[in-house]
Amino acid sequence: MTQTTTAASGAAPTKPVVIRRQARSDLSARGEPFVWLMGAALVIGLTMILGFLAFVIYVGALTFWPSPIEVVTRADGRVVAGEVFRAERYRVPEEVVAAASDDVKAKIATDLGFADRTLYRVGNYDIFGEDFVWVSEFDKKSVAFPRDIYMIERVEWGPFIGRIKEIDLAGTKIADPSGAKVAAAHKAAEARRKEIERIDKVDIAGVNHEIEELRLKVRRGELDYGADSAEAAATKADVAKRTEALQVRYEALGRKVAALRQTDETYVATLEAIDGQTKTLPVSRFMRLYRANDLSSEEKFWIYGSRWAEFITGPPREANTEGGVFPALVGTLTMMVLLSLAVAPFGVVTALYLREYAKQGPLVSFIRICVNNLAGVPSIVYGVFGLGFFCYIVGGSVDQIFFPEKLPTPTFGSGGMLWASLTLALLTVPVVIVATEEALAAVPRTMREGSLACGASKWQTIWRIVLPRAAPGIMTGLILAMARGAGEVAPLMIVGVVKLAPELPVDFTFPFVHFERSFMHLGFHIYDVGFQSRNSEAGRPMVFVTTLLLISLVLMLNAFAIYVRNSLKRTYQTGQF
C-alpha cells in the first residue's frame, strides 16, 4: 500500500497524517440517549395498552356485581331508591342556587359554584318514565338501606326496585315473598316461560317452516311445468292437503300456549315502588329477584355468577341492553372460522404463485406493491364492494339459479354470514400473502436443492418440503389476519350483521350451518348497545362487558393459533440451521 501511494504521488514521501482518536466516546456515540428514547416509547405504548385493558376488565368485571340499594329522602320530602351508578362534580345552575336555602347557598358559594351529585339507577321505567335520577349532595336529607327493598330483574321494562306487597299463587295469598313456596312458584313460572318460548321458537317455527316449504314446492312446480299444467295442479292439491294437517297442528300448539299463559296469569305479585305506586305482574315475568341490602357474600357470588351465565348463554333482551350476547358470540365465532377457512388457502395459493412460479420482474413487483397497498384501503370500501359484488351480483345470480321459487325474497342475494366472511377474507388476504411470501423466502435454499437433487419435481418440493417448513410463518400471517378480521365492524354492517337476528347461523336444523342468514356480531353489538339504544346510560356497563368478552375471544383464538404455530415450529424448524 505504501509503495503505491509513493509511486502515485511521485514526490518525496510526505509526513504521514496522524489521526488522534478520542480516548472516550461521547454520549451520542454510545447511543445512550437513543436507548432511553426507545425504552420510553415502549413504556408509553405498554402503559396505554395495559391501562386500557385494566380499565375494561375493572368496569366489565364489576358490572354484574349486585350493589346495594340506597333509599334517599330529598329535602322536599320525595324519596328515591336505586343503585348508585356514578358520581360527579358539576356546576350548579343559577336557578337551582336561587331556589336553595341559605346554608346550601353558602356551601355552593364556598365551593365556587360547584357541588357533588350522584346518579341513581331507579328502574321502574314503566312507572317513572326514566331509568336514572340525579340527586345533588346538598339535596339529600337522609340515606337508608332498608332490608326489605327488592331488586327485581324483569323480562321487559328493565329492573323494578321496590317492595313486594303481596303474592297471589293461584288463590293462596302470601305476604312474605322470601319463603320456599314463592321460590318454587317462581321456578315453575320460569319453566312455563321457557316452555312457551320453546313452543314459539321451535315447534311453531318448525310448522311455519314446513308450510313455507310447501308453498315453495307449489311455486317450484309452477315454475318447472307452467302455472296451469297438470303436474302443478297435482302438487297444489297434495300441498293443500298437507298444509291443512299442518294448520291443525299449528292451532293445537296455539291452544297449548294459550293454556300456559292462562295458568301464568294466576300466579301474580303486587309490587310497590318507593313512592307508593303499585303494579301487578305475573311471576313468570321475573328473571331474578333478591333483597339487595340483605345479601350474604355467598348469595352475592351466586347472583354474580348467574348474571355472567345469562350474559354468555342467553339471548339479548330490551333492545340488546339487557340479557345475553349468545347470538353475537356464536355469530362472531362462526364468522372467524369461516374467515380463516377462506383466507388461508386463498392467500397461501396466491403467495405460492407469486413467490415460486411467477417470473420475478417489474410486473410481479407491481402486483406485490398493489397487494401491500390493498391492506391500507379503508375497510368500509370493502364493505361496499362486498355488498355490490358478493350480495348483489354473486348472490343475486345464485338466487336466480338455485332459489327461483323464493324470489323476490332474497336467499343469498342480501347480506349474510357467507358474504360477510368472504368480504373480511378479502380485507385480510394481503396480510396472509405478505406473511406467506416472507415465510417461503425464508426456507433455506439448501432444503429445496436437496429435494430437487433427489429427483423431486418443483411441485413435490413445494408440497413436501417448502410448505411444511413455511407453515409457522404462514400461521403468523393467519393470526394477524384473524386479529384484523375480529376488529372490523364497519364493513360487516353493510354485508350481513344486524341488530337482532331471529335465528343463529348455526343450529340443529338441516343443513346445520346457514350461510345465507344475517347474524349478530360482538363488535356491532358494542356499537349498537353503546350508541344506538334508547338509553345509552343503561347500556354503558354492557358496552364494557361485551368489550371484555370480545377481547377475551380474540385473545383465546390467538392463543390457540400461537399454540398451533409453536407445535409446527417444533416439528419443522428445530435443529442447527
Partner 1 sequence: MADSSFAPTAYHVREGGQGISLKVESYSLWYGAAQALWNVDMDVQKGLCTALIGPSGCGKSTLLRSMNRMNDLIDGLRTQGQMVIDGEPIYGSRIDVIALRKRMGMVFQKPNPFPMSITENVIYPLRVDGVTDRKLLAEAAEAALRGAALWDEVKSRLNESALGLSGGQQQRLCIARAIAGNPEVLLMDEPCSALDPIATAKIEELIDELKGRYTIIIVTHNMQQAARVADNTAFMYLGRLIEYGDTKAMFEKPLVKRTEDYLTGRFG
What residues line the site for partner 1 (CB under 8 A)? 360, 444, 446-457, 460, 464-465, 468-469, 571-576
- Is 42 or 442 the residue whose CB approaches partner 1 more closely? 442
Closest contact distance (angstroms) between CB of 475 and partner 1 is 15
- Is 146 or 468 the residue whose CB approaches partner 1 more closely? 468
Q: Can you tell me the distance from the alpha carbon of 292 to that of 290, in angstroms, rounded to the nearest whole number? A: 6
- Sign for the CA dihedral angle at 437, 438, 441, 447 comes to negative
- Is 251 or 449 the residue whose CB approaches partner 1 more closely? 449
Closest contact distance (angstroms) between CB of 575 and partner 1 is 3
- Is 302 or 463 the residue whose CB approaches partner 1 more closely? 463
- Is 457 or 567 the residue whose CB approaches partner 1 more closely? 457
Roughly what angle, to the nearest 10 degrees, separates helices 467-487 and 417-441? 140
Reported residue count of the chain is 577
Give every CB contact of residue 241 below 8 A, 6+ residues apart in sequence: none
Single-letter code of the amino acid located at 255: R
Closest contact distance (angstroms) between CB of 568 and partner 1 is 10
- Is 183 or 454 the residue whose CB approaches partner 1 more closely? 454
- Is 558 or 573 the residue whose CB approaches partner 1 more closely? 573
Closest contact distance (angstroms) between CB of 371 and partner 1 is 22
Closest contact distance (angstroms) between CB of 399 and partner 1 is 45
Q: What are phi and psi of 228, to 5 degrees?
A: -110, 25
Contact 548, 61 (CB under 8 A): yes
Residue 287: closest CA among 244, 323, 338: 323
- Is 451 or 476 the residue whose CB approaches partner 1 more closely? 451
Is residue 408 reached through a cis peptide bond, with omega within 30 degrees of 0 on the bond before it? yes
Cα 62–chain centre separation: 19
Pair type for strands 150-154 and 132-136: unpaired
Closest contact distance (angstroms) between CB of 351 and partner 1 is 19
Q: Classify burial at 468, counting beta carbons within 10 Å of its beta carbon; exposed 0-12, middle 13-18, buried 19 or more.
A: middle
Q: Can you tell me the distance from the alpha carbon of 227 to that of 224, in angstroms, rounded to the nearest whole number? A: 9
Neighbours of 273 (CB within 10 A): 20
3-state SS of the chain: helix, strand, coil percent to 5? Answer: 60, 15, 25
- Is 209 or 570 the residue whose CB approaches partner 1 more closely? 570
- Is 33 or 450 the residue whose CB approaches partner 1 more closely? 450
Closest contact distance (angstroms) between CB of 352 and partner 1 is 17
Closest contact distance (angstroms) between CB of 349 and partner 1 is 22
- Is 370 or 454 the residue whose CB approaches partner 1 more closely? 454
Q: Classify burial at 48, counting beta carbons within 10 Å of its beta carbon; exposed 0-12, middle 13-18, buried 19 or more.
A: exposed
Helices (H), 288-360: 297-313, 326-352
Provide the b/e sequence for 84-123 (b: ≥16 CB within 10 Å): ebeeeeeebeeeeeeebeeebeeebeeeeeebebbbbbbb
Closest contact distance (angstroms) between CB of 564 and partner 1 is 16
Closest contact distance (angstroms) between CB of 577 and partner 1 is 8
- Is 128 or 572 the residue whose CB approaches partner 1 more closely? 572
- Is 28 or 576 the residue whose CB approaches partner 1 more closely? 576
Contact 102, 61 (CB under 8 A): no
Contact 324, 185 (CB under 8 A): no
Closest contact distance (angstroms) between CB of 569 and partner 1 is 10
Closest contact distance (angstroms) between CB of 457 and partner 1 is 5
Q: Can you tell me the distance from the alpha carbon of 505 to that of 518, in angstroms, rounded to the nearest whole number? A: 7
Closest contact distance (angstroms) between CB of 565 and partner 1 is 15
Contact 533, 539 (CB under 8 A): yes
- Is 461 or 546 the residue whose CB approaches partner 1 more closely? 461
Closest contact distance (angstroms) between CB of 348 and partner 1 is 18
DSSP SS3 for 430 = helix
- Is 154 or 368 the residue whose CB approaches partner 1 more closely? 368
Angle (CA) 540-495-409 rounded to 5° is 115
Q: Record the cell numbers describing residue 54, joined without a space.
A: 385494566
> Grid cell 417448513 — which residue?
469
Neighbours of 294 (CB within 10 A): 15
Pair type for strands 267-273 and 160-169: antiparallel
Calculate Rg over the CA atoms of the chain. 34
